[in-house]
Structure 1
Amino acid sequence: MRSFPELYVLRHGETVWNVEGRLQGGLDSALTARGRAQAARQGEILASLELYGFSGICSPQGRAAETARIALPEVLKLSYDPALREIGMGDWAGKARADLGDVGKGFDLYEAAPGGEGFTALARRCAAFLEGVQGPAVLVTHGITSRMIRTLATGQPIEMVREIGGGQGCVYHVAGGVQKRID
């Protein structure tokens, strides 16, 4: 298994579209009050850690950038990388899951989205990103992209993206191929 630098991985806080059950992909929706509180909680977690020598790398999408502004300590040098954007949802971006019928209820929709990115392409994008990370980093990204980065960094096959766990308001620590959730 390839060894990657130590990572702390954050998903953006809850958005209006998360509450509405809409797929965001490359589109954006503002954080809710709960989402801003989740980002603040992530900031508390990060403040309790020794982050000397870490960089901060964030998706350029608005919901992730807002989360980073709230959660990341000012001591981290922050950069933005489009490789951390959310999985592309193609024609289904902005659609409500409920409008997609049974396919909208699980992870299969990320593979089925017409014009979408799919897991294989996302895995290639995330693997290339991880290969370029030069040292320990705090990453601020999105639900599915976070899962894929953690899947790859723990040496699991991409199908495990469905099983690796997720959530907002927490921080995932990945080091030596092992993931730990910090609440």
Structure 2
Amino acid sequence: MKHYPKIWFLRHGQTEWNKAYRLQGQLDSPLTAQGIADAERQAELIRPVLSQSPDIFVSPLGRTVQTAEIALAGAAYRLDERLMEIHAGVWQGRLRTEILAERPDWPGGQPTALEIYETAQGGEGLNAFQARIRSFLEDLTGPSVVVAHGLWGQVMRAEVRGLDMAQAGHLSNDQGCVYMLESGQETLLQAAV
């Protein structure tokens, strides 16, 4: 297992398409009122971390930039295209129920989101996605805050923790929290409700 610097990972807040179970991939939809509240909770959690002046990286997609503007409370950050969500090919913008209806062959009928995205026609595929994430991780030089996406976070967290990629799609994928990764271990930081 490779050793990476300490990472605080924030998934973007809930979006209109998250709420509708519509695949976003590298398309975009705005945060819902719940998504704004998610980012506000993250702001509370990440405030003490920001005082340590970590490197901060954000996906350039609109939902992550919108989350970062709220959660990071004006802290400077760098956009990095390697943080964009996995591309879902022809399925981007489609409802999950429509895709599942077209694929009765899926074992158990309940694939993980990562399994859906991985098999999308014209999509990026898991190998290329994982290589992009590894490239980003290998460039980290110190403690870092990362604002990105759900599937991106699952694959990155599995990589940092030394888990098999088959386990990545089964990791939690919460919004409104911060995943802290250090020395191959993960701690979930949540705001008091």
> What TM-score, normalized by structure 2, do the two folds share?
0.89
Match of 1:138 in 2: 145
| 1:105 to partner: Cα distance | 4.2
Output the CA distance in 2 between the equivalents of 1:171 and 1:22: 24
Residues 83-134 of structure 1: CA deviation (Å, up to 9, x unaligned): 0000110000000001112558422212221011122211111011100112
> What TM-score, normalized by structure 1, do the two folds share?
0.94
| 1:182 to partner: Cα distance | 0.8
Secondary structure in 1 matching 2:77: strand
Secondary structure in 1 matching 2:147: strand
Output the CA distance in 1 between the equivalents of 2:96 and 2:139: 34
Secondary structure in 2 matching 1:77: coil
- Alignment check: 8 A CA contact 1:57 1:138 kept: yes
Match of 1:106 in 2: 111
Output the CA distance in 2 between the equivalents of 1:48 and 1:5: 18
- Alignment check: 8 A CA contact 2:12 2:63 kept: yes
Output the CA distance in 2 between the equivalents of 1:49 and 1:109: 34
- Alignment check: 8 A CA contact 2:155 2:169 kept: no
Output the CA distance in 2 between the equivalents of 1:51 and 1:132: 22
Secondary structure in 2 matching 1:86: coil
Identity of aligned residues (%): 38
- Alignment check: 8 A CA contact 1:9 1:172 kept: yes
Match of 1:86 in 2: 85
Match of 2:181 in 1: 174
Output the CA distance in 2 between the equivalents of 1:130 and 1:49: 19
RMSD over aligned CA atoms reads 1.5
- Alignment check: 8 A CA contact 2:56 2:77 kept: yes
1:156 is the counterpart of 2:163: yes
Question: What is the aligned length?
Answer: 182
| 1:18 to partner: Cα distance | 0.7
Output the CA distance in 2 between the equivalents of 1:134 and 1:50: 17
Output the CA distance in 1 between the equivalents of 2:50 and 2:31: 27
- In structure 2, what residue type is equivalent to 1:22? R
